[in-house]
Structure 1
Amino acid sequence: MAINEHIVFFSVSGWGHVRALVAFACRIVQQKPDVGITIFSSGNIIDKTKIELTRYFAAGDVSKNNIRIISVQAENPNPFEHIFGTAGACVHSYQSLSRGERITCLSSGKTYQPWPKPTLVVSDVFLDVVEGVRAIDPEGVTILGWSPANNSAALRMYGPEDLGGTGDVVAKALVEAEKTEKSAKEIQNYLVYPVEGEIIDIAGIPLLYDFELVPQLKNPMMDSLHSHFSNVGYNFLRAADGVIIPGSSALEADALATLKKWQSSLGKETYVIGPLLPIDDGYKTLEESSKKNEKAASDKGSKIESFLEKTLEEHGEHSLIYISFGSIFWPDSALIWGFVDVIIEQRVPFIFACASPMAVIPDESAKKIQESGLGLLSKWAPQQLILDHKATGWFVTHCGQNSFIESLAAGVPM
């Protein structure tokens, strides 16, 4: 079927943001076969994104051809440079789409033919693109934010101060910098996660002290990233036409109601579309295909499945601990490898996904895990397959929204 309407998605390279966005794109084209969707992402995660796309379509379903996943940045071993460069790369590539020009994926080298001029841009709220897109197409395109995070956390990061948000941290940092010898950037990083002992009131979570929000040891690079995201999100949600949230009032009723009311006060629309996971359509063929393709994205997909079966046979149901801290974040190494030592001593089987580029696996720990026969390390694990397996009993997680939703769907305690 011919493409009559064109939607463009902009995504950061974090898996917690792009996975649900792919699922959303699939839902759209399956229901509206004349819609084409171009997804702009980055080289570091583009192959896994393409594999994820295949999990939502049965063999022969041609609607998957209505989704194009295009890398607008080449691979970069420094994930932070990658993240900070994504917005500019997306806007630059969008200009070609708006002009009706062909566009080339920087990872595969494949060139795509023009589709109709886009009428809708759905962009991650962490990407500073609103002004750039409107400069290219000032009247003809609607811009909606994509906010896949926990909504209480979203209110804190870029909401107004009267709703428990940090407010305009850039403006506050500039004022404070004039009074002190500290740089505005240093102050801004602190204001995102202050430690003043003040009580914070955010919809959806109990009252808590500011230092309880992020009790981990400070990481200057992560502080800078959080500060950047907070500032961009603050401006995005006030400049765009609305926001799409893959959440559910069954899980976050207070936070969603507060966020919707706030957006409405700004004249913005809020679209709550529900959690996004592969659809169970009752056909084993699609279920098996989904598992197969998720395994294909992993460096040890088949080994992990065999390990799960072996664990089930030797240790029984709900015996295995699955450990993952997402595709970017990484906890204090001394603490996490100390935890691994303990579960080995307790003879508890485990799978540890170490996807973060900041992950460091000490040789001693790797050797101990291998010799124990109780654990398996993976750079990228098929998380849904693991959580759905009968051997899995617990999930040690950073509680990213993807992990949170997938764990709930599988009934695995965190």
Structure 2
Amino acid sequence: MAKHVVLYTIPSWGHAKPLVAFMVLVAELRMDVVFTFIANVRYPNIMGELAKLPRERLENIKDRIHVMNVPNPSAQGPGPARNDPGFAHAFGILWRSETLKCGTTGKEISGLPRLSLAIIDPFAGYAINAIRSLASPQETPIFSWMSGPVGTFTLMFGPKQLGGLGDIGSKAEKEVSETVGNSATEILTTTGEIVNIPGYPPMFDYELFPQDIDFSVAMTVVPIIRKSIQSSEGTLFVTASCVEAEAIAALREHFTNELGKELIPVGLASSVIPEPPLAKDDEGVVLFLDRILKEYGEKSLIYVAFGTTWWPKDPTKIYTLIDELLQARTPFLLPQSSPLAHIPDDIMSKVAASGLGKIVKWAPQETVLQHSVTGWFITHGGWNSVQEGFRFKVPLIFWPMAGDQPINASLITLKYRAAFEIISVQSGKNMKRPYRCDVQPSFTVEAVREEVRRMLLRIGNGEGDSVRKTAYKLSEEISNVWREGGEAMVEIEGFLRKYVD
């Protein structure tokens, strides 16, 4: 009898993209499973990701994968703390095996098997509530889809003995009902306490907030995620033991013994969906990369990208980076995809005239990373960017800002010695001595200038070669989890046998 799996994330591409790859993998492993991905504003991205598949692979699964755009009445789309009535409506239709219509294509699906499994973004607590209003855990088990590492999850939601904030979810839930500001203030208050997450280098608590960024709204998601995890049968984490073995083992024991939940590491980003040649080169990015390759050789370019959300709080520090790259005659590519990004015209003109750099509104990151000219990747250190760096074997230089980024940087830089980190770019009230430093560093623009100069020397000498070799070795270990008998395949097969077969 065919099985039916429903999938849903909030409209964050960092959440949805790895779930698309997971869906494709399961579709190829289980030919009797039907999938409905309830989409929203990310519908075009999801369809574009599926279109990357080679024709034969897509033909084999396309009739069992239904991506349905169910518009949300909210003009701004569903966020962590918002409701999305469209999901509840769509799930109800699927639950009753009625006809669901895609708001983009008009495609209709009906008569599908009863839903046997739901994989839901824990940021979307409203979606989990909608499922549980109709289906019991026995009828439709729910697994939360955590697109980040176990270390960050442990910090925010784990018990104190694992380095977590303890029962912070309950405290936040009570406070959010009163004032968001008070909740955020208490959660984000730092005292200089040492944070020890299993397998991660120790750090002071204030190192978790290296940039002057307002988290008052973001903190409202803490009780939502906590409740989602409690309401789910388990959580799928986009991670692997070759990266954070101790953290996975410790949190899995806590999940099993204390929460009665399952924890499944499903591997990091893989080549499940290959990256085809770029169809359009609207801003001449590939032409620029090809020219730099011809003039400067392989691994000569530094790719500088902070994603579609983040941008340095103090823009003079990014201007300083640009200036030092130009002074050192180091080619670079810098997309300013964030709405916060704005580089002055005089700097834009200087970069264009140099022939060394290119600043664009957006760059095809995977295309850039797999190009042979790309030698290093300066990144904020979000989990997706970290994974893509390893996937394409491009070593990282961290410029962390918030969220999981500081501990990602600490793990890869200090534990594995597989990356570098720029320290002086911090801003705000937490510009204090990092645990790793014996003396208080400076965080001035001039300090950034000096550190970038040293960094360029380091990546060009034996230290850079050593970091590159270590990053390459870790990349191979990450890739191996997807091979037959590898951790990800074993974990996913066990999960499917229990909840799908």
Which amino acid letter does the alignment assign opposite residue 347 of structure 1? R
Residue number in structure 1 paired with 2:384? 402
User: What is residue 153 of structure 1 aligned with on the other side?
Assistant: 152
CA distance in structure 2 between the aligned counterparts of 1:205 and 1:162, rounded to whole angstroms: 14
Q: Distance in 2 between matches of 1:88 and 1:155?
A: 31
Q: Rate the CA distance shift 1:148–1:58 in 2: closer, same or farther, 3 A.
A: same
Matched, 1:273 2:266: yes
* Cα offset, 1:170, TM superposition: 5.3
1:375 corresponds to which of 349, 353, 357? 357
Counterparts in 2 of 1:380 and 1:91: CA distance versus 1, 3 Å: farther
In the alignment, structure 1 residue 252 sits paired with structure 2 residue 233: no
Q: Return 5+ residue gaps in structure 1 as ranges.
A: 281-286
Which of the numbers 225, 231, 239 marks the counterpart of 1:233? 225
Q: Distance in 1 between matches of 2:283 and 2:27?
A: 31
| Contact 1:169–1:191 (CA under 8 A) maintained in structure 2 | no
Task: Tell me by how many angstroms 1:55 deviates.
Answer: 2.2
**Percentage identity across aligned positions?**
29
**Contact 1:164–1:201 (Cα < 8 Å) also in 2:** yes
Question: 1:341 Cα shift?
Answer: 3.1
Counterpart residue number, 1:215: 210
| Deviation for aligned residue 1:104 | 2.9
One of 8, 18, 21 as aligned partner of 1:23: 21
Asked if the contact 2:149/2:238 (under 8 Å) is kept, the reply is no
Look up the SS of the partner of 2:61 in the other structure. Answer: helix
Q: Give the secondary-structure state (helix, strand or coil) at the position aligned to 2:304.
A: strand
Partner of 2:52: 55
> Could you tell me which of 268, 272, 286 is aligned with 1:305?
286
Q: Secondary structure at the match of 2:133?
A: helix
TM-score (norm 2): 0.71
Task: Determine if contact 1:263/1:270 at 8 Å carries over to the other structure.
Answer: yes
Amino acid at match of 1:201: N
Matches within 5 A, 1:6-405: 6-43=4-41, 45-59=42-56, 61-73=59-71, 82-85=79-82, 88-128=85-125, 129-138=127-136, 139-169=138-168, 171-173=170-172, 184-219=179-214, 222-225=215-218, 227-265=219-257, 266-279=259-272, 290-292=275-277, 295-296=278-279, 300=281, 303-332=284-313, 333-405=315-387
**Hey, what's the Cα distance between the residues in 1 that align with 2:335 and 2:106?**
30
Gaps of 5+ in 2: 397-501
Mapped partners of 1:177, 1:387: distance in 2? 41
SS at match of 2:7: strand
How many angstroms does 1:109 deviate by? Answer: 4.5
User: What is the deviation of 1:176?
Assistant: 7.4
Instruction: Describe the SS at the equivalent of 1:215.
Output: coil
Q: Which residue of 1 aligns with 2:454?
A: none
Moved more, 303-312 or 252-261: 303-312
Q: What residue identity is the alignment partner of 1:277?
A: S
> For 1:202, what is the secondary structure of its paired residue?
coil
Q: Is the contact between residue 156 and residue 165 of structure 1 (CA under 8 Å) also seen in structure 2?
A: yes
1:350-379 per-position Cα deviation (integer Å, ceiling 9, x unaligned) = 222333343334444433333333333344
**How far apart are 1:316 and its partner, in Å?**
1.1
Amino acid at match of 1:144: F
